[in-house]
Amino acid sequence: MDRSIATILYVAFLGLIVVFATFSRVSANAEGDALNALRTNLVDPNNVLQSWDSTLVNPCTWFHVTCNNENSVTRVDLGNANLSGQLVPNLGQLPNLQYLELYSNNIGGGIPSELGNLVQLVSLDLYLNILNGPIPDTLGRLQRLRFLYGFLFVELFNSVFALWVGYFHSEIGGIVRLPFELCRRLNNNSLSGQIPMSLTTIGNLQVLDLSHNQLTGPTPVNGSFQLFTPISFADNNLIPPPVSPTPPVSPTTPSPSGVGNSATGAIAGGVAAGAALLFAAPAIALALYRRRKPQDYFFDVPAEEDPEVHLGQLKRFSLRELQVASDNFSNKNILGRGGFGKVYKGRLADGTLVAIKRLKEERTQGGELQFQTEVEMISMAVHRNLLRLRGFCMTPTERLLVYPYMANGSVASCLRERPDSQPPLDWPIRQRIALGSARGLAYLHDHCDPKIIHRDVKAANILLDEDFEAVVGDFGLARLMDYKDTHVTTAVRGTIGHIAPEYLSTGKSSEKTDVFGYGVMLLELITGQRAFDLARLANDDDVMLLDWVKGLLTEKKLETLVDADLNSYIDEEVEKLIQIALLCTQSSSTERPKMSEVVRMLEGDGLAERWEEWQKEEMFRQEPHYMPHPNTDWIIADSTSNIRPDELSGPR
């Protein structure tokens, strides 16, 4: 009997497993079919949707699609992908969809009423499209949408019918700056039909602009629509709301004198004129704005927050969030520019300052997965002297990395671009920078698996936090920018004057490549000068900092070598740092110390022995057949040759 019961329970258990598996498969199939219907209805000239394979049961393996643990689609990211065509009703068959990002495309047609079935939707972003037709009243069902920004609770700016912006009392807040020309385009669409009454139930709605469309029917006046003036509905075919009756005026005792009657008339006239001016003010302001140079519009909106954790502890930012943070990547927010792209200062919705690196390499098919892999590798390098990656953004056409903002800039900017009000870096701080940056590089070489080769170590890539602690930035980017190729190293990346000779001649990098760049960076710290400077030719000096320093050492001119801004330093300590720099910049990579050895030498262990060996070998290097390459051999031309050498990878 017991055996029979056990058998029955076992069979029932197997049945549940089969049912669950079948349900999961059917669910994945249904959602995959819905997304495939969207793909079929869209024109995709850039093959962004190439990975959307209809033969695969699970769409969670497709690029630009994110799923939860139950293999149900929660996010679709197709912003700025140059897609055209129309949306499909099948999108309403994604029951767990939270983020639908279709901004900056050329999608036309109407808004499917089935979008009202996406009751889990948190963000609907359709701005900058060419949608038309009526506004579905089913959108009133989307009660989980957190905020009104653009068309609906999120960003449906130009694509739909209006600018709707909500001002909210939430834990997330921020400022969006939009050029006025963009704002002027928000309301000029071809939307028709009546304004759905269901939209009046959105209690947080504070600003509404449905002007310059083809809307008909009555103008709602109930609910949140009570807040809006006629200018919100201008240039439509709407029936104006009934005029509210004027409240009865309490009888007053007439003034016995003509002066009193005159004053009453003046007051009444003033009130009438003021009211007329009040109603005319928006139109006057609009006309003046159109005649003036476009200015910035400000709207208070919360930032889009992704509830899921992407790639460990990294936050995946939306492109719109980073556009908002950086004033749409305004030139005034550029912190630096170089071989990897531009870096912008940004302020997130919670007020946090960040540095946004906008990578400029062209994208190729299949690069998304490799990009995510490299980003994850970078994020795992956590050390006090390494700039920690905070988050990233990936779209079909954009790759962005988000880092903490370093208040004191880079070592290069503090050495050569500081304002007069800022004191120069003193000698103890420079010593700390040397040790901290060495520790950061040693961690990349010895404690990361796989090891990370920086390939562009220089003063501009050593950042300083609020305590002037050295933080190595830009590590992992050289490999990250090679993700589209099969080789680890596909191009010589670096800055003139910092590039190791073997890397320049063979294109093969190693940790000793970083050691060479670090040695040149030490010379920057000591001298305050650039690694490559044509201005030195005016004094018949070497353009390469390394050769210039060697020449001065031969002539025993230490005082000429040290940065003129250094008012106080100890000769022995300067000599020690110069010795380490020369050990690091030996022409033979095998003779250079490892970064871990450099750390020990900076801490006072082993320098004397290494320096004695170097001096003996240096006598042989002076022979003609050991002479280093001529200076001109170090000067390379690359795709960034139009940028000043010290800015090839830019301050971070």
pLDDT of residue 361: 56
pLDDT at 124 over 90: no
| Pairing of the two strands 84-86 and 470-472 | unpaired
Average pLDDT, the chain: 72
- Cβ–Cβ under 8 Å, residues 229 and 206: no
What secondary structure does DSSP assign to 74-99, as a single string? EEEE-TTS--EEE--GGGGG-TT--E
Side-chain half-sphere of 367: how many Cα atoms within 13 Å?
20
Q: In 10 A of CB 60, how many CB atoms?
A: 18
Partners of 123 in the β-ladder:
99
Percent of the chain residues topping a pLDDT of 70 = 63
Phi/psi at 177 (nearest 5 deg)? -105, 120
Between residues 207 and 586, which one has the greater pLDDT? 586
pLDDT reading at 441 higher than 70? yes
Between strands 149-150 and 163-166, the pairing is antiparallel
The reply, when asked if residue 342 is annotated as ligand binding, is no
β pairing state of 470-472 and 462-464:
antiparallel
pLDDT for position 260: 44
pLDDT one-digit tens code per residue, 125-146: 776 778 888 878 887 787 765 4
Q: What average pLDDT does range 325-344 have in this prediction?
A: 86
What are the tokens at 346? 């940004």
pLDDT tens across 186-197, in order?
Answer: 334 456 788 777
Element at 297 (helix H, strand E): strand 296-300
Query: How large a percentage of the chain has pLDDT more than 90?
Result: 24
Q: Could you tell me the sign of the dihedral formed by the alpha carbons of 447, 452, 453, 458, in that order?
A: negative
Structure-token pair, residue 437: 């940056």
Mean pLDDT (whole number) for 215-223: 81
Q: How many helices (H) and strands (E) does the chain have?
A: 15, 23
Q: What does the CA dihedral 380, 382, 388, 390 come to, rounded to 10 degrees?
A: 50
Structure tokens at 542: 């070497």
Q: Please, are residues 401 and 357 in contact by the beta-carbon 8 Å criterion?
A: yes
Q: If you ran DSSP here, which 8-state letter would residue 569 be given?
A: -
Structure token pair of residue 533: 């400077």
Q: How far is CA 638 from CA 497, 521, 645, in A?
A: 14, 21, 11
Q: What is the mean pLDDT of residues 608-628?
A: 69
What mean pLDDT do residues 457-463 have? 92
Q: What is the dihedral of CA 357, 358, 362, 366, to 10 degrees?
A: 70
Return d(Cα 404, Cα 411) in angstroms, integer: 16
The total of other beta-carbon atoms located within 10 Å of residue 599's CB is 21
Strands 391-394, 315-316: pairing kind: parallel
Pairwise CA distance, residues 626 & 617, whole Å: 11
Average pLDDT score over residue span 471-499: 64
Nearest-angstrom CA–CA distance, 593 and 46:
48
Peptide bond between residue 251 and the one before it cis (omega within 30 degrees of 0): no
Beta strands in 109-260 (DSSP E): 123-125, 149-150, 163-166, 175-179, 192-193, 205-209, 214-218, 237-239
* Backbone phi, psi, residue 74, to 5°: -115, -15
* CA distance readout (Å), 596 to 475, 507, 602: 17, 24, 10
Residues annotated as catalytic (active site), given as ranges: 456
CB-based contact 351:175 (threshold 8 Å): no
Tell if the pTM clears 0.85, that is, is over it: no
Report the C-alpha gap between 441 and 455 in whole angstroms: 11
Chain segment 264-281, per-residue pLDDT in tens: 444 444 444 454 444 444
Choice among 247-261, 309-323, 586-600 with the minimum mean pLDDT = 247-261
Cis link prior to 450 (omega < 30° from 0)? yes
The pLDDT of residue 294? 39
At 2-61, the pLDDT tens digits run 556 656 665 555 555 544 444 444 345 789 889 999 999 999 998 888 888 877 657 887
Q: What is the dihedral of CA 642, 648, 651, 652, to 10 degrees?
A: 120
Strands 237-239 and 214-218: parallel
What domains are there in the chain, each with its CATH number?
15-239 (3.80.10.10), 406-647 (1.10.510.10)
Which band of pLDDT confidence, cut at 50, 70 and 90, is reported for residue 202?
low
